[in-house]
């Protein structure tokens, strides 16, 4: 499956995306699409033959709970509506608490890292298999950017991803900006991570911009792509020819010409970093490559692969021990520990026993303790960097304020310059337990109960806004007209 060069489709830049030359495909946030109706812009793109890939952010496959059947059904419906060749999600957890810990459900509102331990891997792999069985097309998972690491991790990121692919047959969405983020924030070497990856499992690549503040890299998707991120892309291209590369932009959208310039820089990087073609390709290499597999550059001294799986994917290493395009071998003790088979079934998934309840329980307790420290102000779990937890906590609150301002733009309009400070004060003691729209209503109610806003006109406007949206059912048309007229009389 060749995707080519693409860009993240967002409503704010829909016209610019349609006008860009040389766009082969786009990616749309799955949760922002209706299951039975597409935006006109995406309809036009599909009519032109542009592939649309839904990119999920809410499954939380790295969480302790099994994936929610409703969320899986929703993602499957969007995949079928789009006629997409694959769907993508993240290796992350996004919520914690609930029945497994007998505690209130907490929502992070953001992608949080999974501990790179064997137990967390067991849980992730089972969740991935559940998702694969529920989706009509293949699944690819993305590495995330992190501000924090878990104590006592047992695997590097590359080893963790390699083992995930070997056990489940899942594809990978490699975000080179996230590799750079983890280099700056956590001291992890992008080249080493790429060396350990099963690069033939890459479905496509993300490229995005960010900014460094006080020694911390923030993966904002609101800044231009930087040279260091393009260098990580070059490192990846020197190892493999990815089926697709996509530019992400989620905020502070520039003019179309600037987006085109960033896409040109990505194309130039891919051309520059491409290794010279091997004049002596091994017979049958192309035929042996699995469907959708990336083209892997094998070092000459590494020798030939020692065999292929039933899917036709190269396996094993040469006698020299060099990578031949797959994950490094897993030690026998680790295989016994995890139940990894020496060879996967034809569909690319290793069989595995169900994850013991105790494993999920321990994962749930650990993730709930971390998320509670980040969003509810409880003590930090042992072993974490307290300073980094504070940075992550502030980042979560800031993102929460930004998203609420987008889903309920009337709130910053009504509250003016006081919106952000008021929201951050509210968020500091009130974890998000539902979606952002519920959060917006709860915030407005909190402000009103506290006697704000001080301006009487703003208070009336906020009261009417909250009343319009907080009922068990939407207000009828007559009620809406009366309230609109009343709002106009008090200053709109």
Residues 261 and 114 in one domain: yes
Q: Please, which pLDDT band fits residue 314 given cuts at 50, 70 and 90?
A: very low
CATH of the domain at 77: 3.20.20.150
* Contact assessment for residue 167 and residue 340, using Cβ atoms and an 8 Å cutoff: yes
Least reliable range by pLDDT among 171-185, 223-237, 316-330: 316-330
Q: Does residue 391 form part of some domain?
A: yes
pLDDT at 484 over 70: no
3-state SS of the chain is: CCCEEEEEECHHHHHHHHHCCCCCEEEEEHHHCCCCCCCHHHHHHHHCCCEEEEECCCCCCCCCCCCCHHHHHHHHHHHHHHCCCCEEEECCEEEEEECCCCEEEEEEEEEECCCCCHHHHHHHHHHHHHHHHHCCCCEEEECCCCCCCCCCCCCCHHHHHHHHHHHHCCEEEEEHHHHHHHHHHHCCCHHHHHHHCCHHHEEEEEECCCEEECCEEECCCCCCCCHHHHHHHHHHHCCEECCEEEECCCCCCCCHHHHHHHHHHHHHHHHHHCCCCCCCCCCCHHHHCCCCCCEECCCHHHCCCCEECCCCCEECCCCCCCCCCCCCCCCHHHHHHHCCCCCCCCCCCCCCCCCCHHHHHHHHHHHHHHHHHHHCCCCCCCCCCHHHHHHHHHHHHHHHHHHHHHHCCHHHHHHHHHHHHHHHHHHHHCCECCCHHHHHHHHHHHHHHCCCCCCHHHHHHHHHHHHHHHCCCCCCHHHHHHHHHHHHHCCC
What value does the mean pLDDT take over residues 263-270? Answer: 98
Structural domains counted in the chain: 2
What's the pLDDT tens digit per position in 211-232?
998 888 989 999 999 999 999 9
DSSP lists the bridge partners of residue 55 as: 29, 88
* Cα angle 49, 52, 55; round to 5: 170
Q: Which residue has the higher pLDDT, 5 or 340?
A: 5
Mean pLDDT of 200-208: 98
C-alpha to C-alpha distances, 36 to 42, 77, 80, 82, 216, nearest whole angstrom = 13, 8, 10, 10, 41
pLDDT surpassing 80 at residue 353: yes
- Domain-embedded: residue 310: no
pLDDT band at 35 (very low <50, low <70, confident <90, very high): confident
Percent of the chain with pLDDT over 70: 81
Range of the domain at 482: 385-491
Residue 371 lies in a domain: no
Tell me, yes or no, whether 372 lies in a domain: no
Average pLDDT over every residue of 375-401: 95
pLDDT of residue 19: 98
**What pLDDT score was predicted for residue 487?**
52
339/14 Cα distance (integer angstroms):
46
Domain boundary among 217, 252, 273: 273
Rounded average pLDDT over 8-24:
97
Place of tokens 């922002």: 32
Place of tokens 């949760």: 31
Task: For the chain, state the CA radius of gyration.
Answer: 24
Q: Please, what is the average pLDDT of the chain?
A: 86
298-311 pLDDT per residue, tens: 433 333 333 333 33
pLDDT of residue 215: 86
Question: Within 10 Å of residue 261's Cβ, how many Cβ atoms?
Answer: 14
Q: Predicted confidence band at 488 (pLDDT cuts at 50, 70, 90)? A: low
Q: What is the mean pLDDT of residues 159-174?
A: 98
| Shared-domain flag, residues 267 and 389 | no
Range in 47-61, 371-385, 410-424, 463-477 the model is least confident about: 463-477
pLDDT tens sequence across 130-147 = 999 999 999 999 999 999
Tell me which residue of 13, 26, 22 sits closest to 264, measured CA to CA: 22
Average pLDDT value for residue range 46-51:
97
pLDDT at 68 over 90: yes
Q: In this structure, are 268 and 393 located in the same domain? A: no
Q: pLDDT class for 433, splitting at 50, 70, 90?
A: confident
**Where a domain ends, among 253, 273, 293?**
273
Residues 6+ apart with CB under 8 A from 128: 61, 139, 141, 164, 168, 170
Q: Tell me the average pLDDT across 397-405.
A: 96
pLDDT value at residue 69: 98
Flag whether 480 is in a domain.
yes
| Tokens encoding 301 | 């001294």
- Domain's final residue, options 216, 239, 273: 273
Is 181 within 8 Å of 146 (Cβ atoms)? yes
Q: What is the pLDDT of residue 91?
A: 99
The CA distance from 484 to 464, in Å, is: 9
Residue 115 makes CB contacts below 8 A (sequence gap 6+) with: 150, 153, 366
Establish if 375 belongs to a structural domain. no
When mean pLDDT is compared across 8-17, 98-107, 288-297, 367-376, the lowest value belongs to 288-297
Confidence grade of residue 276 (pLDDT, cut at 50, 70, 90):
confident
| 280 is a domain residue | no
Task: Report the greatest alpha carbon distance in the chain.
Answer: 82
d(CA 182, CA 217): 8
Residues 258 and 402 in one domain: no
The stretch 314-342 carries a mean pLDDT of 36
Global pTM reads 0.82
In terms of domains, do 265 and 405 share one?
A: no
Backbone angles phi, psi at 431, to 5 degrees: -60, 150
**Residue 182 belongs to some domain of the structure:** yes
Nearest CA among 349, 357, 352, 328 for reference residue 338: 352
pLDDT average, residue stretch 405-419:
97
């Amino acid at each position: 499956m060749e995707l080519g060069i693409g860009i993240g489709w967002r409503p704010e830049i829909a016209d610019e995306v349609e006008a860009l030359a040389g766009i082969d495909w786009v990616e749309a946030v799955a949760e922002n699409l209706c299951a039975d109706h597409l935006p006109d812009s995406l309809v036009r793109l599909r009519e032109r033959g542009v592939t649309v890939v839904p990119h999920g952010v809410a499954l939380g496959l790295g969480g302790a709970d099994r994936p929610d059947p409703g969320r899986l059904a929703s993602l499957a419906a969007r995949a079928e509506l789009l006629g997409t060749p694959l769907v993508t999600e993240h290796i992350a957890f996004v919520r914690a608490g609930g029945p497994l810990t007998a505690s209130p459900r907490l929502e992070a509102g953001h992608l949080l890292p999974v501990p790179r331990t064997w137990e967390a891997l067991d849980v992730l792999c089972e969740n991935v298999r559940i998702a694969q069985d529920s989706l009509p097309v293949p699944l690819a998972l993305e590495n995330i950017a992190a501000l924090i690491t878990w104590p006592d991790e047992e695997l590097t990121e590359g080893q963790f991803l390699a083992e995930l692919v070997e056990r489940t047959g899942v594809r990978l969405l490699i975000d080179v900006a996230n590799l750079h983020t983890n280099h700056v924030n956590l001291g992890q070497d992008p080249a080493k991570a790429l060396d350990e990856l099963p690069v033939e499992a890459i479905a496509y690549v993300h490229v995005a911009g960010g900014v460094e503040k006080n020694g911390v890299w923030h993966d904002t998707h609101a800044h231009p792509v930087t040279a260091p991120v393009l260098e990580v892309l070059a490192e990846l291209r020197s190892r493999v020819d990815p089926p697709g590369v996509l530019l992400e932009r989620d905020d502070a959208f520039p003019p179309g010409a600037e987006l085109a310039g960033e896409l040109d820089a990505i194309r130039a990087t891919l051309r520059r970093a491409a290794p010279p073609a091997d004049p002596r390709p091994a017979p049958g290499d192309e035929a042996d490559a699995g469907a959708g597999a990336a083209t892997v550059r094998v070092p000459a001294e590494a020798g030939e692969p020692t065999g292929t799986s039933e899917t036709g994917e190269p396996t094993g290493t040469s006698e020299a021990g060099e990578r031949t395009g797959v994950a490094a071998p897993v030690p026998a003790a680790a295989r016994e520990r995890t139940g990894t088979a020496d060879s996967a079934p034809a569909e690319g998934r290793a069989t595995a026993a169900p994850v013991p309840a105790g494993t999920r329980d321990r994962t749930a307790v650990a993730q709930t303790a971390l998320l509670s420290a980040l969003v509810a102000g409880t003590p930090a779990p042992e072993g974490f960097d307290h300073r980094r937890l504070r940075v992550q906590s502030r980042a979560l609150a800031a993102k929460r304020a930004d998203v609420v301002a987008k889903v309920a733009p009337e709130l910053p309009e009504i509250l003016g310059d006081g919106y952000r400070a008021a929201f951050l004060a509210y968020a500091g003691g009130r974890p998000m337990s539902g979606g952002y729209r519920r959060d917006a209503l709860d915030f407005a109610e909190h402000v009103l109960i506290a006697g704000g806003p001080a301006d009487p006109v703003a208070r009336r406007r906020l009261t009417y806004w909250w009343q319009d949206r907080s009922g068990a059912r939407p207000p009828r048309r007559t009620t809406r007209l009366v309230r609109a007229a009343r709002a106009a009389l008090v200053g709109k």
